[in-house]
Amino acid sequence: MNNYMQIHKYLKQFDIKPSVQRTAVMEYLLAHKTHPTIEEIYASLSPQMPTLSKTTIYNTLNLFVDKGAVLQLAIDEKNARYDADISDHAHFMCNSCGKVYDLFSLNKELFKKPALEGFDINSVEISYSGICSSCKNLN
Amino acid sequence: MNNYMQIHKYLKQFDIKPSVQRTAVMEYLLAHKTHPTIEEIYASLSPQMPTLSKTTIYNTLNLFVDKGAVLQLAIDEKNARYDADISDHAHFMCNSCGKVYDLFSLNKELFKKPALEGFDINSVEISYSGICSSCKNLN
DNA sequence: ATTAAAATTACAAAAGATAATCATTTATTT
DNA sequence: AAATAAATGATTATCTTTTGTAATTTTAAT
């Protein structure tokens, strides 16, 4: 089975009807764990798919988020960023270079949903920001 | 000492030069712990200060955030929200009504900055979202 | 295989939030 | 008080995201 069909199957697990565009976006997200913005995804895919529109990227990602297949990160106030890794992990954003790092090794207790009387918690987002080591070593 | 002077003193603690506008914005934030948006702050203050401009609200809040006097929350993707309570606490945003709740009673361990090799962490943001009890009881 | 209906996509335009510019006002220093 | 610096306000510009609508593609039915 080729990669394209694997992603079809993957999308169907989230109750998402596959299309060429949706498959391409998910393939991109699974291959680029850099928490890309809409713009980056569009810029990367549009050469191969000249008719692709940015609206479709927006629609597709909103659908993915609704279906729980992708996380929309709020860590970057400027642009929404997307992450196909939906396992428990936190993020660190560098205020200098803007890069978003994954933090997998934190205590899993952090991601537990606290019991809040009468509240239903859907999502937990843990974000750190500061200066990354690359930027720190530049001066 | 009146309230206006108290806020003057408070701003100076953060190395912020007080002005009529800055004092009014900080006074508003200290009195309204609802994590207001720029728009809400402007709408509330502008009747009393007819010449107040939205630019000043933006400038003032950016200054407050830079000086560490106010937190800018990323929890709401639509608008930046501001919080004058800079003590360790998390937030819950209701996806139905949009209200942002404070969560003070969580384990303080959550707010510890993890040791990341070579990284300097400035800020920690812990955000939950879902449906609040008021909205849950509406249907 | 045709046709009709539904879903998806694409383009254009609009809306909304934030930033940049610059003139004006206010505060500070000499 | 004059000169300088800082803060404010009005306007404009930019950028992200959403919306409306039409075209296209897919699905289902005959």
pLDDT tens for residues A44-91? 999 999 999 999 999 999 999 999 999 999 999 999 999 999 999 999
Residues A98, A46 share a domain: no
Q: Region A108-127: what's the mean pLDDT?
A: 95
Residues B63 and B103 in one domain: no
Exposure string over A107-124, b if 16+ CB within 10 A, otherwise e: eeebeeebebeebeeebb
pLDDT in tens, B23-82: 999 999 999 999 999 999 999 999 999 999 999 999 999 999 999 999 999 999 999 999
| Residues B56, B116 within the same domain | no
| B8 and B64 co-located in one domain | yes
Same structural domain for residues A77 and A91? Answer: no
Query: Which of chain C's bases lie under 7 Å from a protein CB?
Result: 7-12, 17-21, 27-28
Q: Domain holding B41: CATH number?
A: 1.10.10.10
Q: Does A67 lie in the same domain as A39? A: yes
B58 and B76 in a single domain? The answer is yes
Query: Whole domain around residue B97: which residue ranges?
Result: 87-136
pLDDT at A139: 63
Please tell me the predicted confidence (pLDDT) of residue B137.
87
Count the residues in chain B: 139
Evaluate if residue A4 carries a pLDDT over 90. Answer: no
pLDDT at A101 over 90: yes
Q: Which residue of B has its CA nearest to A131?
A: B120
Last residue of a domain, one of B39, B60, B81: B81
Tell me which DSSP letter residue B117 carries. T
Domain end among A46, A66, A82: A82
For residues A102 and A53, state if they share a domain. no
Task: Using CA coordinates, name the residue in chain A closest to B77.
Answer: A74
- Chain D: positions less than 7 Å from a protein CB are 6-11, 16-20, 26-27
From B82's Cα to the closest Cα of chain A, the distance in A is 13
Per-residue model confidence (pLDDT) at position A50: 94
For B121, the 3-state DSSP assignment is: strand
Strands B90-94 and B120-131: parallel
Tell me the pTM.
Answer: 0.93
Q: Report long-range pairs for A21-30 (Cβ below 8 Å, ≥24 apart).
A: A21/A49, A21/A52, A21/A56, A21/A60, A22/A60, A22/A63, A22/A64, A24/A48, A24/A49, A24/A52, A25/A57, A25/A60, A25/A61, A25/A64, A26/A64, A26/A69, A26/A70, A26/A84, A27/A3, A29/A70, A29/A82, A29/A83, A29/A84, A30/A84
pLDDT over threshold 70, residue A95? yes
Cross-chain residue pair B130–A120, CB shorter than 8 Å = yes
Question: How many domains in chain B?
Answer: 2
Q: Which of A82, A105, A125 is the last residue of a domain?
A: A82
Shared-domain flag, residues B7 and B40: yes
Interchain proximity B72–A77, CB inside 8 Å: yes
A8 and A65 inside one domain: yes
- Does the pLDDT value for residue B2 go beyond 90? no
Q: Who contacts B105 (Cβ-Cβ below 8 Å, separation ≥6)?
A: none
- Our measurement of CA B77 to C1' D28, in angstroms, reads 39
Q: Are A72 and B129 in contact (CB under 8 A)?
A: no
Q: Is the same domain home to B74 and B101? A: no
Q: Where are the alpha helices (DSSP H) in chain A?
A: 3-13, 20-31, 38-45, 54-67, 133-136
CATH of the domain at B115: 3.30.1490.190
